[in-house]
Structure 1
């Protein structure tokens, strides 16, 4: 248990930050899910649009320190490759 004022404040700050980061991470997952659904439906226009909307959100999560830069880069790379693959199938 926190034994001084600074430690108690740290606990309060950590709780607030955790809530904020969970919301951001959840938001990013939602955008990724939309891209995944568009890819699954096979609609390239919709998938491309969903990816364009998801990309800034994912980059923002990096800026805010919620996700690591390389993690987001890897996920974006894989998603964009899958969106491009739809065109090859059609």
Structure 2
């Protein structure tokens, strides 16, 4: 099997059939937690040898605070992912055709 090496900041990972398993930490803001709490979760890994390889921002809020993924990118030790933020309409804004 062919393996590839991918570099992301200071992190290098192997991708392919014989590659080791990567650990993904999901963090995100919702109605009860803010950016500060999520950043604290990321910071707790800095001194740990078993830190995740990937951090994915799964926030449900899109406010004016610094985004979690932006903070993780600055750390340069993680591969960073995001999920799209979708806007939903309430039933009162939906019209029947």
TM-score over 0.5 for the alignment? no
Q: Sort the TM-score into its range (normalised by shorter chain).
A: under 0.3
TM normalised by structure 1 equals 0.26
Bigger share in strand: 2
